[in-house]
């Protein structure tokens, strides 16, 4: 290939992907306070910190008992992964999935705008109505919209609504994010994990899912 890098122009930095991962995880384990987490939870939190670039994230992460075990078991059994945003769906590393699990995001479905209008809510929330046929035993990954997490909690207040196996609740932001995650941990309709407060987002949601999907770190 013409124009490819000439050795003279090389800057000094780590170019080995595996070494970068190992060094990153070592720095995180040296700096972050992970003492609250059990042996199942710790690698999930480490990978979320890695995605966020923020060791202080550890203080905001919370799990209901048995979450990691339930989520891992569901994924091994082929559970679909239901995502509130396309960025979450696109970040999931398909080769880490244990059972070629389907990854679904309904936000761009053409029925969503009408549904949002009928329900008087956001498109992110209304899109979850299209999850119903896939919800039983699924792993839910909400990494963007507080209204999506609130809507899911409302859906699950109905005893006939199918139950997901586990919920990753990491919506981000300034209006409703903290409140929706507090409500998830209060109600805990199924095993769940959250990042409390305003922090959240697709990167840490994806990191949690990728850590649950495969126990290998590098």
Q: Which residues are catalytic?
A: 50
* Residue choice 73, 96, 98, 173 for contact with its own copies (CB under 8 A): 173
DSSP 3-state assignment of 157?
Answer: helix
Closest CA to 168 of 68, 60, 42: 68
37-45, 68-76, 95-103, 112-120 -> range binding its own copies (CB under 8 A): 112-120
37-45, 70-78, 95-103, 155-163 -> range binding its own copies (CB under 8 A): 155-163
Query: CB within 8 A of 32, min separation 6: which ones?
Result: 45, 46, 49, 55, 57, 58
What tokens were used for 55?
A: 């060791």
Total residues contacting its own copies (rule CB under 8 A)? 66
Q: Is 5 in the site for its own copies (CB under 8 A)?
A: yes
Which positions from 175 through 214 interact with its own copies, judged by CB under 8 A? Answer: 175-177, 179-180, 183, 197-203, 206
Q: Is 119 in the site for its own copies (CB under 8 A)?
A: yes
Q: Is 147 in the site for its own copies (CB under 8 A)?
A: yes
Of 72 and 123, nearer to its own copies (C-beta) is: 123
Q: Is 120 in the site for its own copies (CB under 8 A)?
A: yes
The CA-based angle 19-59-175, given to 5 degrees, is 110
Q: Is 160 in the site for its own copies (CB under 8 A)?
A: yes
Instruction: Walk across the sheet containing 192-195 and list its strands.
Output: 61-63, 192-195, 166-169, 139-142, 81-83, 103-105
Which positions from 50 through 69 interact with its own copies, judged by CB under 8 A? Answer: 50-54
- The answer to whether 46 touches 208, Cβ cutoff 8 Å, is no
Strand 166-169 relative to strand 139-142, pairing: parallel
Angstrom CA distances, 201 to 68, 156, 207, stand at 19, 23, 10
Q: Is 122 in the site for its own copies (CB under 8 A)?
A: yes
Of 40 and 154, nearer to its own copies (C-beta) is: 154
Of 158 and 216, nearer to its own copies (C-beta) is: 158
Residues near its own copies (CB under 8 A) are 1, 3-6, 9-11, 13-17, 20, 23-24, 27-28, 50-54, 86-87, 89-91, 115, 119-125, 129, 132, 146-147, 150-151, 153-155, 157-158, 160-161, 172-177, 179-180, 183, 197-203, 206
């Amino acid at each position: 290939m013409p124009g490819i890098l000439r050795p003279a122009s090389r800057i000094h930095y780590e170019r080995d992907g595996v070494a970068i991962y190992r060094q990153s995880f070592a720095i995180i384990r040296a700096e972050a306070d992970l003492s609250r987490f059990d042996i199942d939870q710790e690698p999930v939190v480490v990978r979320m910190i890695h995605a966020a670039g923020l060791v202080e994230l550890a203080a905001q992460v919370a799990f209901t008992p048995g979450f990691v075990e339930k989520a891992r078991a569901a994924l091994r059994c082929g559970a679909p992964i239901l995502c509130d945003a396309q960025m979450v769906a696109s970040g999931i590393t398909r080769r880490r999935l244990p059972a070629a699990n389907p990854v679904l995001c309904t936000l761009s479905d053409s029925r969503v705008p009408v549904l949002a209008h009928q329900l008087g809510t956001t498109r992110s929330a209304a899109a979850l109505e299209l999850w119903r046929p896939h919800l039983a035993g699924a792993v839910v990954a909400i990494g963007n919209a507080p209204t999506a997490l609130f809507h899911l909690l409302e859906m699950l207040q109905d005893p006939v609504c199918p139950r997901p196996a586990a919920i990753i609740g990491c919506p981000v932001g300034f209006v409703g994010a903290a409140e929706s995650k507090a409500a998830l941990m209060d109600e805990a309709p199924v095993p769940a994990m959250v990042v409390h407060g305003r922090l959240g987002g697709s990167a840490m949601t994806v990191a949690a899912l990728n850590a649950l999907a495969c126990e290998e770190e590098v």
